[in-house]
Structure 1
Amino acid sequence: MIYGHDPRTGQQVGAGLAEADSARVDMVVSAAAAAGEAWRATPAEERAEALEAVADALSAHVDELWRLADQETALGEVRLRGEVARTAGQFRLFAQVIKDGGYLDAIIDHADPAATPPRPDVRRIKQPLPGVVAVFAASNFPFAFSVAGGDTASALAAGCPVVVKAHPGHPNTSAAVARVVRAALPYPDLLGLVHGLQAGADLVRHPSVVAAGFTGSVAGGKAIQALIDERDTPIPFFGELGSVNPVVVLPSAATAQVASGFAASLTLGVGQFCTNPGLVFAPDDDELRKAVVDAVEGSAGGPMLAERIRDGYLGGLGRLGELNLLAEGQPGEGALAVTPKVFTTDLDTFAAKLPGIAEECFGPAAILVTYQDASDLPAVLERLEGSLTATVHAADAAEAEHLVEVLQRKAGRLIWNGWPTGVAVAWSMHHGGPWPATTNTAHTSVGATAIDRWLAPTAYQDWPEELLPDELKDGNPLGIPRRVDGVR
């Protein structure tokens, strides 16, 4: 049995949930695959209405959901209400995406006998992957990256059924969300849920599973990839893993604003964000150092989500302990509470300790690396592993010109005078990056283009008009954006 635990007390909360054995996983996946046949054939307008119904249902159940999640995560009412709203917003965004139709990337090239060689009539469109998408829920977002998170919303929008392996940190919350979503879908089996470590392994190896999405640790992602490698038929794996999210503070930046913003972003959610700023490069300046110390000392820790996560954080602090401790916040309260800590070193020492010193320490910990000359930064930044974000603070854009090329190779989202925590649900958002931030830097797990992960193109050559998808017929009966003979 799997039980939830209150991070404040360490005590068991809620009912125990049975781990799914292989037979149960097979039953859930098979039911999802059967429901997926009808879902794929459902017109886009109706699929959009179903996604909007899910969003409405999540919003209607917010009082029940946040209270249940708070018992298992200690994240608090404000954060959890906001996260339910964000989760509902993701479903509404993807309803807009499939109504728009542009995500299908419909292309028509009419026949041209005069071309060399002669060109046949070719029409191309993206279609949902023919099977079930496996989703592995995250620990740190019990709604937005979990059962009804962006992976699930985008896969359902694409036309794929989903089976989620629930995170053990919030099992009862996961079950409640699944009930709400299933009740709002026209075919409840479009969303399946399984619990347990072995269930996750059985899920990703199931022959009806055609792709997998994951948000978690590098070790967890590698374990799933190893299971996929054992399959007779390989499948794509889209994992969001580890990220230190480097921040570069240039001499013209406003010292007080940088320090206060850094402390707030570092400690948000007890530092349990994949976009937590874990590495800051700043001028060797006493005023800035003091401002950072004051801001961090004014912050407070709190309980982490699970004992394993807390232990991982403490282990990371042990590794960072070879540096100088610059500042620490107030101790948090609760059985799994931790304290924010910021360590410091100079650029040369940091560079000599790469790559190990720059590994992610998941939680409210960071390194302040001081430099004498900003021209020395690109060579060190080049040696960092990939991240989801990279941030620059400066009042003068010209100061950052020498950083742009290296930063855009190192991160999927570049931020100017802001902080990386807080990922907008928007058409343009890219929440991805080079390894180990993600397993595939070309894709995102947040934003409209997250749907691309669950689609594959089909080209129709000289195909009869009556057998073509409506999206590719000459009359464009659905009125979607298309490229025809090279013209958008």
Structure 2
Amino acid sequence: MDSKTPTFIPRGKHLIAGEWVAGETTFISEPAHAPRHEFPVGTPALVDAACRAAEEAFWTYGYTRRETRAEFLNAIADEIEARGNAITEIGTQETGLAEARLQGERGRTTGQLRLFAEHILKGDYLDHRHDRALPDRRPLPRPDIWLVQRPIGPVAVFGASNFPLAFSTAGGDTAAALAAGCPVVVKGHGAHPGTSELVAEAILAAIENTGMPKGVFSLVQGGKRDVGQALVQHPLINAVGFTGSLGGGRALFDLCAQRDVPIPFFGELGSVNPMFLLPAAVKARGPEIGTDWAGSLTMGAGQFCTNPGIAVVERGSDGDAFIAAAAAALKGVTAQCMLTDGIAKAYRGGKARFDERNTVKPVLSTESEGRNALPNLFETDAANYLRDPALGEEVFGPLGLVVRVSGQDEMMGLAQGFEGQLTATIHLDESDTALAQRLMPVLERKAGRVLVNGFPTGVEVCDAMVHGGPYPASTNFGATSVGTMAIRRFLRPVSYQNMPLSLLPVDITTG
């Protein structure tokens, strides 16, 4: 792309119910490269306007036919694709991510929208149930009762730093909420405001082309804690979707719980995603696993919530060979640009935290500078890991920790000591089956997704996917933020007793 003739120059405004609105104050973006741009700072007053518009829109949008919402979701995907080159251009500028990564993420974003359009047309998500009246039943007759899932109302979505498209303005949370029939108010992430604005422009075009109410979507840019607090505590917001840090997510979760009317907070807060390398697999292909682990660990500068940050392996020469191969592969990885200056600073701080501990020893130690990150690798044992909770805290970036164990029983004890995770992985050969069978009951209680002989980076968007897990991986272990089951977060069951057909929801009468 020719940087002298930009495809898209941001207008630098919020989108509130179909209107581009300037801010009283502004902030300057901090792109990885290319010119900076000026964007408006969000305010509680703007949040209030967006939420009120969303509530007004719900009285129309929440009662639309599934076919109408599917058309709207597909139109959003079309409009995003029509702006594909511009989205890639400004997205790479703001985040430092490669063009191929942004193009792939854009495909995932439009794919999610189309998947939800297809999903709601099938109608299975509605969980239709009908208990017909039994007027002659004794000792008491039974009334006629229908059940169907209904949209909950306006939803707040927080854009994620590490996915400017797939987990942000028109990402999975937004797609699921709109599919359910819920208007959305997005708080854009300050790491990629231009990308957010351009995607919001696409959503607005889809609103206008399909005749949706303008308040069905709003984007509030920037803003500090007061904006996030105003959004999650606004009385018209009925649920919150969030992907981000444990500290920030927990603070918002607590605010949701403290409301006069508490609401669900669906926060995905990160994970260290442990891998358990079983003895026969390590003996047969330990160096291969180590090399592949290094690739997964450093993919995208390690800025994935499913980054496999911990490898558990038995002591001995086979485990040593695994570590040596991983270290050799990591040495060959050049510095990678991180998403923001703040994330890069936090990565350096996480590495420093490991340097300061006598419970770990460095295998590969590097010094990262500025916005760039180099990989690091440390080693400890199970006893030290279990005694030092800080070793289990996520370091967002390409840092790995190997935990050595002495035999199967210590591996089992370590597995039981892990906190909740998004994923847990087992590397095994056939002769490892008995140990894997011992591990499985533990790991399925610890993680939302358990996988074998692979790496968790790369989350398939499909019906069977769970991207969530026990706390602190997420705030609601019964939910997922990826896959069609994500729509359940924004629905609630309603029963209708002795109801004439003329008063039943259209999803029952046409379903």
The TM-score, its normalising length taken from structure 2, stands at 0.88
Q: Which moved more, 1:463-472 or 1:94-103?
A: 463-472
How big is the shift at 1:338? 1.5
Find the residue that maps to 1:366 and give its secondary structure: strand
Determine the C-alpha separation between the residues in 2 that align with 1:420 and 1:301. 22
Note if contact 1:14-1:172 (Cα within 8 Å) is conserved in structure 2: no
Superposition map of 1:67-216 within 5 A: 67-112=89-134, 113-114=136-137, 118-129=141-152, 131-185=153-207, 186-187=211-212, 188-195=214-221, 196-197=223-224, 198-216=226-244
Note if contact 1:154-1:450 (Cα within 8 Å) is conserved in structure 2: yes
Change (3 A) 1:366 1:173: same
Quote the residue 2:450 is aligned against: 414
Confirm whether residue 289 of structure 1 aligns to residue 323 of structure 2. Answer: yes
Report Cα offsets for 1:51-82 as digits up to 9, x if no partner: 11111111221100011011110001000010
- Counterpart of 1:324 in structure 2: which amino acid? K
- Counterpart of 1:372 in structure 2: which amino acid? S
Determine the C-alpha separation between the residues in 2 that align with 1:181 and 1:289. 47
How big is the shift at 1:3? 2.3
Quote the residue 1:60 is aligned against: 82
Note if contact 1:5-1:71 (Cα within 8 Å) is conserved in structure 2: no
How big is the shift at 1:41? 2.1
Find the residue that maps to 2:73 and give its secondary structure: helix
1:338 to 350, 362, 373: 373
Note if contact 2:309-2:399 (Cα within 8 Å) is conserved in structure 1: yes
Quote the residue 1:326 is aligned against: 363
Determine the C-alpha separation between the residues in 1 that align with 2:65 and 2:394. 44
Quote the residue 1:440 is aligned against: 476
Find the residue that maps to 2:143 and give its secondary structure: coil
Determine the C-alpha separation between the residues in 2 that align with 1:290 and 1:381. 24
Report Cα offsets for 1:376-422 as digits up to 9, x if no partner: 21211111110100000011233311100100000000011010111
Report Cα offsets for 1:336-391 as digits up to 9, x if no partner: 111111100122332332x2221111111111111231232121111111010000
Confirm whether residue 269 of structure 1 aligns to residue 300 of structure 2. Answer: yes
Quote the residue 1:483 is aligned against: none
Find the residue that maps to 1:345 and give its secondary structure: strand
- Which structure 2 residue ranges, 5 or more long, are not aligned? 1-25
Quote the residue 1:452 is aligned against: 488
1:304 to 338, 342, 356: 338
Change (3 A) 1:299 1:115: farther
Determine the C-alpha separation between the residues in 2 that align with 1:23 and 1:349. 50
How big is the shift at 1:115? 6.0
Quote the residue 1:349 is aligned against: 384
Find the residue that maps to 1:67 and give its secondary structure: helix
How big is the shift at 1:23? 2.2
Quote the residue 1:245 is aligned against: 273
Note if contact 2:155-2:177 (Cα within 8 Å) is conserved in structure 1: yes
Find the residue that maps to 1:5 and give its secondary structure: coil
Determine the C-alpha separation between the residues in 2 that align with 1:7 and 1:234. 39
How big is the shift at 1:117? 5.2
Determine the C-alpha separation between the residues in 1 that align with 2:463 and 2:138. 37
Q: Which moved more, 1:404-413 or 1:216-225?
A: 216-225
Q: Which moved more, 1:344-353 or 1:261-270?
A: 344-353
Confirm whether residue 469 of structure 1 aligns to residue 501 of structure 2. Answer: no
How big is the shift at 1:116? 6.2
Q: Which moved more, 1:222-231 or 1:80-89?
A: 222-231
Change (3 A) 1:363 1:47: same
- Which structure 1 residue ranges, 5 or more long, are not aligned? 479-488
- Counterpart of 2:300 in structure 1: which amino acid? G
Note if contact 2:90-2:194 (Cα within 8 Å) is conserved in structure 1: yes
Determine the C-alpha separation between the residues in 2 that align with 1:170 and 1:178. 12
Determine the C-alpha separation between the residues in 2 that align with 1:382 and 1:319. 24
Q: Which moved more, 1:47-56 or 1:373-382?
A: 373-382
Determine the C-alpha separation between the residues in 1 that align with 2:413 and 2:89. 48
Change (3 A) 1:78 1:251: same
Report Cα offsets for 1:10-67 as digits up to 9, x if no partner: x8x4421111222222222222222222211221011101111111111221100011
Find the residue that maps to 1:6 and give its secondary structure: coil
Determine the C-alpha separation between the residues in 1 that align with 2:108 and 2:422. 20
Determine the C-alpha separation between the residues in 2 that align with 1:348 and 1:80. 41
Determine the C-alpha separation between the residues in 1 that align with 2:167 and 2:253. 19
Change (3 A) 1:450 1:116: farther
Find the residue that maps to 1:209 and give its secondary structure: coil
- Counterpart of 1:417 in structure 2: which amino acid? N
- Counterpart of 1:307 in structure 2: which amino acid? D
The TM-score, its normalising length taken from structure 1, stands at 0.92
Size of the alignment, in residue pairs? 468
Note if contact 1:104-1:125 (Cα within 8 Å) is conserved in structure 2: yes
How big is the shift at 1:232? 2.0
Note if contact 1:3-1:171 (Cα within 8 Å) is conserved in structure 2: no
2:310 to 279, 288, 292: 279
Note if contact 1:4-1:171 (Cα within 8 Å) is conserved in structure 2: yes
Note if contact 1:2-1:171 (Cα within 8 Å) is conserved in structure 2: no
Determine the C-alpha separation between the residues in 1 that align with 2:138 and 2:280. 58
Determine the C-alpha separation between the residues in 2 that align with 1:173 and 1:237. 25
How big is the shift at 1:270? 0.5
Quote the residue 1:482 is aligned against: none
Superposition map of 1:229-244 within 5 A: 229-244=257-272
2:423 to 367, 376, 389: 389
Change (3 A) 1:348 1:230: closer
- Counterpart of 1:164 in structure 2: which amino acid? V
Determine the C-alpha separation between the residues in 2 that align with 1:290 and 1:41. 60
Note if contact 1:3-1:168 (Cα within 8 Å) is conserved in structure 2: no
Quote the residue 1:18 is aligned against: 40
- Counterpart of 1:7 in structure 2: which amino acid? A
Determine the C-alpha separation between the residues in 2 that align with 1:425 and 1:57. 21
Note if contact 1:267-1:300 (Cα within 8 Å) is conserved in structure 2: no
